[in-house]
A and B are shown apart, each in its own frame.
Chain A
Amino acid sequence: MTSLDLAFAACGLLAVVAGLLAVTTRQVVHAALWLVVALLGVAGCLLVLGHELVALVLVLVYVGAVVVLVLFALMLTRAPIGPDLVHAVPVWRRVAAGLAGAATTALLLAALLPLAGGAVERRDIANQAIATELFGTWVWPFEALSVLLLAALIAALAVSRGPSKEVASP
Chain B
Amino acid sequence: MIHLAGPYVVAALLVGLGVMGVTVRRNAVLLLIGVELILSGSLVLLVASGAATASRWEASSVLPLFVITIAAAEVVVALAVILTAFRHRGSIDLDAPLDDPLAATSATRGDRT
B9 surroundings in chain A (CB, below 8 A): 12, 109, 113
* Partner pick for A116 among B4, B36, B57, B93, CB 8 A cutoff: B4
| CB contact under 8 A between A84 and B27, given known A116-B5, A130-B58 | yes
Contacts of A65 in B (CB 8 A): 72
Cβ contacts A to B, 6 pairs, < 8 Å: A42-B43, A46-B43, A46-B47, A113-B9, A123-B54, A134-B58
Known contacts A39-B36, A49-B48, A123-B52; A77/B88 CB under 8 A: no
Report the count of interface residues on B (CB-CB < 8 A). Answer: 75
Additional 20 contacts, C-beta under 8 A, given A23-B17, A155-B77: A8-B10, A39-B40, A42-B44, A45-B7, A49-B48, A50-B51, A54-B64, A66-B72, A69-B79, A72-B79, A77-B29, A86-B91, A108-B8, A109-B12, A130-B61, A133-B61, A145-B69, A155-B80, A159-B84, A163-B88
Contact of A87 among B58, B86, B93 (CB under 8 A): B93
Min Cβ gap B19→A in Å is 5
State the Cβ distance, B78 to closest chain A Cβ, in Å. Answer: 9
Instruction: Check A113 against B88 for contact (C-beta < 8 Å).
Output: no
Chain A CB count within 10 A is highest, among B18, B20, B73, B79, for: B20
**Interface membership of chain A positions 28-43, coded 1 if the CB is closer than 8 angstroms to chain B and 0 otherwise:** 1001100100110010
Contacts A23-B21, A152-B76 given; does A2 touch B4 at CB 8 Å: no
A81 within 8 A of B: no
B-to-A contact residues, CB < 8 Å: 1-21, 23-27, 29-30, 32-34, 36-37, 40, 43-45, 47-48, 50-54, 57-58, 60-62, 64-66, 68-77, 79-84, 86-88, 91-93, 112
Q: How far is the CB of B102 from chain A (nearest CB, A)?
A: 17
Q: Binding site of A, secondary structure by majority: helix, strand, loop or mixed?
A: helix
List A residues 127-147 near B (Cβ within 8 Å). Answer: 129-130, 133-134, 137-138, 141, 145
Q: Interface 1/0s, chain A 48-66, versus B by CB < 8 A?
A: 1111011001100110011
Q: How far is the CB of B48 from chain A (nearest CB, A)?
A: 6
**Least CB separation from A9: chain B residue:** B6
Question: Could you tell me which residues of chain A, from 65 to 93, have a CB within 8 Å of some CB in chain B?
Answer: 65-66, 69-70, 72-74, 76-77, 79, 84, 86-89, 93
Complex A-B, nearest 5 residue pairs according to Cβ-Cβ distance, in ascending order: A101-B20, A105-B16, A23-B21, A97-B24, A152-B73
Q: Are A122 and B2 in contact (CB under 8 A)?
A: yes
* A32 and B33 contact, Cβ closer than 8 Å, known pairs A49-B51, A116-B8: yes
